[in-house]
Amino acid sequence: MSRSFDEVIDRSDTNAVKYDRTTLKAFFGQEDLMPFWVADMEFAVPEAVTKALRKAVDHGIFGYSTRPDSYYQAIIDWTQKRFNYTVEKEWIGFTPGIVPAVNYALQAFCMPGDKVIIQQPVYYPFARSILNNGCQVLDNTLVYENGRYEIDFEDLEKKARDPLATMMILCSPHNPVSRVFTKEELSRIGEICLENNVMVLADEIHNDIVFEGYEHTVFASISKAFEDIAITCTAPSKTFNLAGMQASSIVIANPKTRERFNRVLERNSIGFQNPLSIVAVEAAYRHGEEWLEDLLRYLEGNIMTIKDFLSRELPEAKLVEPEGTYLAWIDLSAYESDGMKLEKTMAQAGGVALDGGSWFGPSGNGFLRLNFACSRSMLLEGLKGIKKGVEALK
């Protein structure tokens, strides 16, 4: 039986990045903070995963390993059942994470000086990866109105027409603003990119963390034309708390695109996969669905906890309605317009480590990202820390 989501699990001395004192000191100037930043969960993985890993560990040999047909079939079956999208084994590639996949795609399909479209405020490694590969960032900034983010399609059309624009990195569901884009929105993105010969790299790592009333659509599933220009990046990392296993699936239907991408993987010596991650991924996709459904209900309860606390204790704070992801995007600009000061005060006075909104681009100034994939008791302590930080701003 899987462990309760209410259980507080001590992660100290486990090399967890979000708890590491040296890392906290480097990012926040302090070591002793409650961590609500790095996007992994405070929950134990499904018992089926633990059981499968225990069996593999007991075997005692961890040599070079191949991915069996059952591994690919588990991914295929999950994608078909959850998203009604059929992929073929040959389409599925492996990378040790989606950020590496973004970099490999930039190396495969972009030349230095090319421009890559992103939608800030967005997951900050995108911009860093673009710049590190000698390319330029084209920001199709999301529009924040009435507490919700929308796509500026007029601006996207303008950006896509730039002759140097070769790729769009689509974050869907979106981190950090937690939008689950509709099929209609994704179709409009696809049409614009198709018309302008812009490839779409879809980071869909949060695809399973979608709340009641919303539905994730795989971008590549909408049409054969979109599938031909798409690189779909997925992983069980967010779904089952397996980020440390570093096992991402890169789905590319177009054989020419796949060949170019695979050549870059070969140049970077990407091949063998950690044998334990093979076991964990297959077990999660085969036996983790009931656990996931329970997780989603618990996370929805955490969302209500955040809403209740903010309305009662910080009425000028605005929570952007979470449609997906376990990341709350909170507008605190009514209390402090200086984003750097806001971020610093949360750590110094509130004792909480949160992703600063400005990390995700200039349009994130005045916001904070709160990871609420934790026990309700831990979440309440974190919210109290935010309140202390706000009080220190007065």
Determine what percent of the chain is predicted with pLDDT higher than 70.
99
**pLDDT reported for residue 37:** 98
> What band does 3 get if pLDDT is binned at 50, 70 and 90?
confident
Residue by residue, DSSP assigns 295-314 as HHHHHHHHHHHHHHHHHHH-
Mean pLDDT of the chain: 97
Confidence of residue 160 (pLDDT cuts 50, 70, 90): very high
Contact 183, 217 (CB under 8 A): yes
Residue pair 202/230 in contact by the 8 Å Cβ criterion: yes
User: Does the pLDDT of residue 362 top 80, yes or no?
Assistant: yes
As a whole number of angstroms, the distance between CA 72 and CA 82 comes to: 16
Evaluated on CA atoms 282, 288, 293, 296, the torsion sign reads negative
pLDDT at 271 over 90: no
Q: What is the pLDDT of residue 394?
A: 79
pLDDT band at 1 (very low <50, low <70, confident <90, very high): low
**pLDDT at residue 197, as a whole number:** 98
Cα–Cα distance for residue pair 392/394, rounded to 1 Å: 6
Angle at 388 (CA atoms; ends 384, 390), nearest 5 degrees = 115
d(C-alpha 294, C-alpha 240), whole Å: 12
d(CA 269, CA 8): 39
| Residue 77, pLDDT above cutoff 70 | yes
For 353, the enclosing helix (H) or strand (E) is strand 352-353
The CATH classification of domain 63-287, taken from the options 3.40.47.10, 3.40.640.10, 3.40.50.150, 3.20.20.70: 3.40.640.10
Closest residue by Cα to residue 235 from 58, 379, 39: 39
Q: Is the pLDDT of residue 338 over 90?
A: no
Q: Is the pLDDT of residue 226 over 60?
A: yes
- Over residues 10-18, the mean pLDDT reads 95
Q: Taking residues 107-129, what's their average pLDDT?
A: 99
Can you give the residue ranges of every domain in the chain? 17-46+289-393, 63-287
Specify the pLDDT at position 139: 99
Give the pLDDT confidence score for residue 332 in this predicted structure: 97
> How many other C-beta atoms are found inside a 10 Å radius of the C-beta of residue 30?
14
Q: Which helix (H) or strand (E) holds 115?
A: strand 115-118
Residue 355 in 3-state DSSP?
strand
Cβ proximity of 316 and 335 under 8 Å? yes
Helices (H) and strands (E) in the chain — how many of each? 14, 15
Q: What is the mean pLDDT of residues 140-147?
A: 96
Output the six-digit token pair for 16.
């967890």
CATH topology (fold) of 17-46+289-393: Aspartate Aminotransferase, domain 1 (3.90.1150)
* Torsion (CA) 156, 157, 161, 164 in degrees, nearest 10: 10
In the predicted structure, residue 31 carries a pLDDT above the cut 90: yes
Q: What is the pLDDT of residues 166-202, one digit of tens each?
A: 999 999 999 999 999 999 999 999 999 999 999 999 9
pLDDT tier for residue 75 given thresholds of 50, 70 and 90: very high
For residue 337, pLDDT over 90 is answered with no
Residue 2 is predicted with a pLDDT of 67
Contacts (Cβ under 8 Å, ≥6 apart) of 13: none
